[in-house]
Amino acid sequence: MTAPVDLSHLDAQGQAHMVDVSAKATTVRQAVAEAIVKMQPQTLATIEAGNAPKGDVLGTARIAGIMAAKQTANLIPLCHPLPIHGVEVAINPDASLPGYRIQATVNVKAETGVEMEALTAASVAALTLYDMAKALEKAMEIQSIRLLSKTGGKSSDYQAAAPQAR
């Protein structure tokens, strides 16, 4: 028989609640997340040439990702609002996909981590890239949204393994 698991986001009555992190130490924390958007080579070429019908696809997606990181607590019910110190969203073309690799890095000095903020930033940047380019191709695929790394806090640092070939 296995020991019962202590679920941090459930109270004694089994109701979901926000964890009280006030007793935790304030530390510098960083999380990096990634999303991949696959598309046809001609769609990638059109975006790279700056000829998408809706305008600046990559700039709009980058700003959307930054804004999303700052709104995570409003979107994910049990997330804490955090004093985010920095958000970087890099959107890089990858002809081998073909498509884009989106990487969101979020930094904070707080009592809890920023994994959800980084994942939200990468996700919303990918969704925005799709929205901005859907006139070019509706069959684009958003894939492999994942945490790449996290540092800081009481739990150990995390580094994702290299993705498996498909």
Give the residue numbers annotated as catalytic, written as ranges: 131
For residue 14, count CB atoms less than 10 angstroms from its CB and return exposed for 0-12, middle for 13-18, buried for 19 or more. exposed
Q: How many helices (H) and strands (E) does the chain have?
A: 4, 5
Q: Which two tokens stand for residue 155?
A: 């739990």
Q: What is the DSSP letter of 156?
A: P
How far from 12 is each of 78, 79, 156, CA to CA, in Å? Answer: 17, 20, 27
Closest CA to 114 of 89, 91, 147, 145: 147
Amino acid at position 15, single letter:
Q
Sheet containing 27-38: give its strands across. 84-94, 99-110, 27-38, 141-151, 158-159
